Amino acid sequence: MPRAKTTKSRPSHKRLPRGKHSGVELLLIQSVDHVGQQGDVVEVKRGYAMNFLLPQGLATIATDHHKRMVDKHRAKLQEIQNARMAGLRQMADNLARQSITIEANANDEGHLYGSVGAPEIVAALKKSEITITADQVRLKGLLKELGLYTVNIHLGHEVEAELKVWVVPTISEVPAEKK
């Protein structure tokens, strides 16, 4: 007696729309650096879409319905983007007026024992109630000597700020006793 054929059931998951270059077509919910602006229909590789853009809520599948919705609300999206950019420019102006001081251990010649990097700058700004992330700090190299440095802060699309950072020696609170 012959056995009946069994068919394997595949997991049913929604297919992602393919673009012209065999990528995945997505509609950006938020602007993403090096990908596109909010409301753009972009084509990205499947792994980037499945592992980053979709789980982070930065994009959605580009269906005809979503495209029509974005076309209807593009003016509202532009207003939101303009308000966000105005807030970033205001933050850039605040940062340009700021000057932070970071204490570090140094020898007599002014060379630091270690270095000052982005995490130290972020921590110093947090004390001034300004919140940025370490990847927004653009250093040309680690700060390894005492002095005044100008550090670029990347706040968003085409919004950069310059921050003055003073690296000063750590002041010991115990005065040296003479015998």
Q: Which residue has the higher pLDDT, 128 or 177?
A: 128
Q: Which residue has the higher pLDDT, 132 or 5?
A: 132
Cβ-proximal residues to 61 (8 Å cutoff; 6+ apart), any chain: 14, 16, 17, 25, 26, 27, 54
Cβ-proximal residues to 77 (8 Å cutoff; 6+ apart), any chain: 38, 39, 70
Quote the CA–CA distance of 12 and 153 in Å, as a whole number.
45
Q: What is the pLDDT of residue 148?
A: 92
Chain centre distance of CA 3: 59
Segment 6-24 mean pLDDT: 64
Instruction: Set out the domains of the chain in order of their start, with CATH numbers.
Output: 24-87 (3.40.5.10), 93-169 (3.10.430.100)
Q: Which residue has the higher pLDDT, 32 or 20?
A: 32
Q: What is the pLDDT of residue 77?
A: 73
